[in-house]
C-alpha cells in the first residue's frame, strides 16, 4: 500500500510496514508495545467508570481501493490528510486529559525528535483552555515508564531551539516526572500520577 503525506510527499514505505515487536514487561513478557498497554489500561478505566480516554484515530484519506473479492477491499493508496495531534484524549474527574505516548530505546535520554512542533503547539493550546497535558514516556530497555508534564516538556523543547540539548536526560525525567509501575489491572496505572497533577 502506498501512503503519502499532505502535499503529495511519499512516505517511506519501509517505515510503514507492520513489524511485530516484543517488549519485556514485568508480567510474563506479554509482547505489547506502549500504545497497546495504554489501550488495555484505558479499556479497564472505561469498564470501571473511572475515566473515558480513547486513542485518537490517525487522519487518513483513502485514494485508491482494489476489490479483488466482494467482501475483501484492499487499500492501495492513501494520504495523511492532515498532521495528527497527540495520541490520546478524554475526561477524568471532570478534567480534559490530552497526552502523547512515546517509546525510546535510548537508555540514558529521551530524544526530543520524537515530538513534532504541531504536537507541542496542540498541547500548549489545550493547557491554555485548562486541559491537563503530558507525555507518557517508556524507556524500552529497562521498562521504566514516566508521566512527564507538558509544561516541563515545553522548557526543553524551547531550549533546544536556542541551542540547548536535543534530548531530555533520563535522570531529569526521573526527577521531574512521575514514575509509573506496571501492575495487574490496569496494566499502566497512569491516572494515579494524573491524580497528583490534579491535587
Question: Read out DSSP for 35-99?
Answer: HHHHHHHHHHHHHTTS-EEEEPPP-EEEEEEEEEETTEEEEEEEEE-S----SEEEEETTEEEEE
Q: Is 195 annotated as a binding residue?
A: no
Q: Does some domain include residue 78?
A: no
Beta strand 52-55 with 167-169 is unpaired
Other C-beta atoms within 10 Å of 47: how many? Answer: 10
> Is 49 part of any domain?
yes
* 98 annotated to bind ligand: no
Is 152 annotated to bind a ligand? Reply is no
Q: Is residue 47 part of a domain?
A: yes
Of these ranges, 6-10, 67-71, 172-176, the one predicted with the greatest mean pLDDT is: 172-176
Query: Phi and psi at residue 67, in whole multiples of 5°?
Result: -120, 75
CATH number at residue 48: 3.40.1350.10
- Tens of pLDDT, residue by residue over 150-175, are 999 999 999 999 999 999 999 999 99
138 inside domain: yes
Domain extent for 176: 31-57+83-198
Query: Is residue 90 domain-resident?
Result: yes
Instruction: Provide the number of structural domains found in the chain.
Output: 1
The CB density around residue 49, as the number of other CB atoms within 10 Å, is: 7
In a domain, 20, yes or no: no
In a domain, residue 24? The reply is no
Determine the Cα–Cα distance for residues 175 and 95; give it in Å rounded to an integer: 25
Rounded mean pLDDT, 53-64: 73
Over residues 166-189, the mean pLDDT reads: 97
* 85 annotated ligand binder: yes
Is 165 within a domain? yes
| 58 burial type by CB count under 10 A (0-12 exposed, 13-18 middle, 19+ buried) | exposed
The continuous run of DSSP H or E covering 34 comes out as helix 34-47
- Cell numbers placing 138: 517508556
Amino acid at each position: 500500500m502506498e501512503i503519502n503525506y499532505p502535499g503529495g510527499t511519499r512516505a517511506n514505505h519501509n517505515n510503514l510496514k507492520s513489524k511485530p515487536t516484543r517488549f519485556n514487561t514485568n508480567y510474563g513478557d506479554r509482547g505489547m508495545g506502549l500504545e497497546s498497554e495504554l489501550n488495555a489500561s484505558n479499556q479497564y478505566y472505561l469498564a470501571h467508570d473511572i475515566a473515558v480516554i480513547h486513542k485518537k484515530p490517525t487522519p487518513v484519506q483513502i485514494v485508491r481501493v482494489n476489490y479483488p473479492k466482494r467482501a475483501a477491499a484492499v487499500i492501495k493508496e492513501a494520504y495523511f490528510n492532515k498532521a495528527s495531534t497527540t495520541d490520546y484524549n478524554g475526561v477524568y474527574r471532570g478534567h480534559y486529559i490530552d497526552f502523547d505516548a512515546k517509546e525510546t530505546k535510548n537508555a540514558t535520554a529521551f530524544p526530543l525528535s520524537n515530538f513534532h512542533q504541531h504536537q507541542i503547539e496542540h498541547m500548549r493550546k489545550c493547557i491554555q483552555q485548562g486541559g491537563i497535558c503530558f507525555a507518557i514516556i517508556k524507556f524500552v530497555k529497562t521498562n521504566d515508564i514516566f508521566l512527564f508534564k507538558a509544561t516541563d516538556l515545553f522548557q526543553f523543547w524551547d531550549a533546544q531551539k536556542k541551542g540547548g540539548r536535543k534530548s531530555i536526560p533520563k535522570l531529569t525525567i526521573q526527577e521531574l516526572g512521575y514514575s509509573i509501575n506496571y501492575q495487574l489491572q490496569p496494566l499502566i496505572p497512569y491516572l494515579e500520577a494524573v491524580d497528583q497533577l490534579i491535587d
